[in-house]
């Protein structure tokens, strides 16, 4: 992560990482067939403690162990050049890098993850929660490990030290993507400790990644949300929408529970947030989003709150060392800032009352 964080993301990688629907279709078909035709896979109870424990043990044991050795085999030049190099073409990982594999590798991974699910189904200990929980765990850990940003707090490892053998971190897996010959483990580093393939700099990289100071942007793009659905155009939303601003699609209606939640969170949190950090050569750019929707800009009673947020953002940026361009304050007209909101340049006026 130390080095990879500063390498740019190439267009070629973005294009390559957009094609991962093969595994969705493949997993969907297998789950569908399994739930219809597997004996014991119908009418599952909501919860069974024995099945949950069995899933945890089978994952920590056979799944992690077999994955470790499969992964080492995949780094043998015969398999590496034919298959696994595809995943490793991404040195700077993104969450979605986690599912970028050739189809043959997807099959192998599905077989591994099927061990706990098949065993619990066949022993009649499976439950809806053990299935949903296990699949969520796999996806969450996989995406988290590839996010190229250290977010696991230190206190978690201090209150329970053995956790470092049971849970990897983004910096741990980023070393596998930069060093190639270390940190092979799936989600539990214990097998790298046992077989001596643990990267020596894992701990120090973790510490320095956490301590890294937030970088100062050279250019700040201050923008705001447009509609509640505009969240799906953000990097965490649908990649295919990012090139079509201000468009709505019928399938976004299906997302209304998520949309509602996000609108409530935006209202409760109510603070400007960083949505993108980019780097063009030496120039660092950041996009900050003001948590107010387009409609609110037309409401008189929202003016003060919006102006407050804009002023706060500018002061914060200045504090960090970013220079913002403001119109000269001649004492009569209020200061103003120009900012781009996707539909055109908007000029927002705000009473300039310096706080320092
Ligand atoms: Zn690998
Ligand atoms: Zn990876």
347: confidence class by pLDDT, cuts 50, 70, 90: very low
Q: Is residue 344 over pLDDT 50?
A: no
Rounded to the nearest angstrom, the distance between the alpha carbon of 80 and the centre of ligand 1 is 8
Mean of pLDDT values over 323-337: 44
Residue keyed to tokens 């709150």: 305
Query: What phi and psi values does residue 284 have, to the nearest 5 degrees?
Result: -100, 130
The pLDDT value given to residue 169: 96
Rounded to the nearest angstrom, the distance between the alpha carbon of 41 and the centre of ligand 1 is 33
**pLDDT single digits (tens) 165-195:** 999 999 999 999 999 999 999 999 999 999 9
Rounded to the nearest angstrom, the distance between the alpha carbon of 175 and the centre of ligand 2 is 10
Q: Where are the beta strands (DSSP E) in the chain?
A: 219-224, 273-280, 283-290, 336-340, 345-349
Residue keyed to tokens 């004492």: 331
DSSP 8-state code for residue 110: H
Q: Is residue 330 over pLDDT 80?
A: no
Ligand closest to 148 (CA) is 2
| Ordered alpha helix ranges (H), 40-102 | 49-58, 64-74, 77-79, 85-88
Rounded to the nearest angstrom, the distance between the alpha carbon of 71 and the centre of ligand 1 is 6
Rounded to the nearest angstrom, the distance between the alpha carbon of 93 and the centre of ligand 2 is 7
| Residue spans per domain, the chain | 4-211, 219-349
Q: How far is CA 347 from the centre of its chain?
A: 33
260: confidence class by pLDDT, cuts 50, 70, 90: very high
Ligand closest to 68 (CA) is 1
Rounded to the nearest angstrom, the distance between the alpha carbon of 3 and the centre of ligand 2 is 16
Q: Is residue 214 over pLDDT 90?
A: no
Q: Where are the beta strands (DSSP E) in 209-305?
A: 219-224, 273-280, 283-290
What is the crossing angle of helices 170-179 and 202-211, to 10°? 120
Query: What are 85's two structure tokens?
Result: 């190099």
Rounded to the nearest angstrom, the distance between the alpha carbon of 146 and the centre of ligand 2 is 6
Rounded to the nearest angstrom, the distance between the alpha carbon of 169 and the centre of ligand 1 is 16
Mean of pLDDT values over 23-50: 93
Ligand closest to 67 (CA) is 1
Rounded to the nearest angstrom, the distance between the alpha carbon of 107 and the centre of ligand 2 is 16
Give which of 327, 286, 291 is closest to 306, Cα–Cα. Answer: 291
11-15, 112-116, 298-302, 327-331, range with the lowest pLDDT: 327-331
Model pTM score: 0.74
Rounded to the nearest angstrom, the distance between the alpha carbon of 132 and the centre of ligand 2 is 23
> Are residues 26 and 110 in contact, defined by beta-carbon separation less than 8 angstroms?
yes
Burial class (CB in 10 A: 0-12, 13-18, 19+), 150: buried
């Amino acid at each position: 992560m130390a080095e990879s964080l500063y390498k740019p993301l190439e267009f070629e990688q973005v294009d390559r990482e957009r094609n991962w629907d093969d595994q969705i279709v493949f997993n969907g078909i297998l789950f569908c067939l399994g739930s219809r035709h597997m004996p014991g896979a119908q009418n599952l109870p909501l919860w069974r403690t024995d099945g949950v424990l069995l899933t945890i043990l089978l994952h920590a044991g056979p799944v992690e162990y077999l994955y470790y050795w499969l992964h080492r085999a995949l780094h043998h030049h015969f398999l590496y050049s034919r298959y696994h190099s595809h995943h490793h073409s991404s040195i700077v990982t993104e969450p979605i890098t986690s599912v970028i594999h050739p189809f043959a590798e997807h099959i192998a991974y599905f077989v591994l993850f099927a061990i706990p699910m098949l065993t619990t189904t066949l022993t009649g200990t499976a439950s809806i929660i053990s299935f949903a929980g296990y699949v969520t765990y796999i996806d969450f850990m996989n995406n988290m490990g590839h996010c190229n940003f250290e977010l696991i707090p230190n206190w978690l490892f201090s209150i329970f030290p053995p956790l470092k053998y049971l849970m990897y971190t983004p910096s741990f897996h980023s070393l596998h993507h930069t060093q190639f010959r270390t940190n092979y483990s799936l989600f539990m580093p214990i097998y790298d400790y046992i077989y001596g393939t643990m990267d020596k700099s894992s701990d120090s990289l973790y510490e320095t990644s956490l301590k890294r100071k937030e970088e100062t942007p050279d250019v700040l793009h201050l923008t705001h949300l447009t509609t509640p659905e505009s969240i799906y155009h953000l990097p965490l939303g649908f990649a295919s929408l990012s090139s079509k601003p201000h468009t709505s699609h019928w399938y976004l209606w299906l997302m209304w529970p998520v949309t509602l939640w996000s609108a409530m969170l935006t209202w409760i949190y109510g603070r400007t947030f960083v949505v993108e950090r980019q780097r063009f050569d030496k120039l660092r750019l950041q996009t900050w989003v003001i948590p107010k929707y387009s409609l609110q800009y037309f409401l008189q009673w929202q003016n003060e709150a919006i102006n407050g947020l804009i002023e706060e953002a500018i002061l914060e940026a200045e504090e960090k060392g970013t220079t913002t361009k403001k119109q000269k304050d001649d004492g009569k007209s209020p200061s103003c800032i120009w900012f781009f909101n996707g539909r055109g340049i908007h000029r927002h006026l705000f009473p300039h009352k310096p706080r320092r």
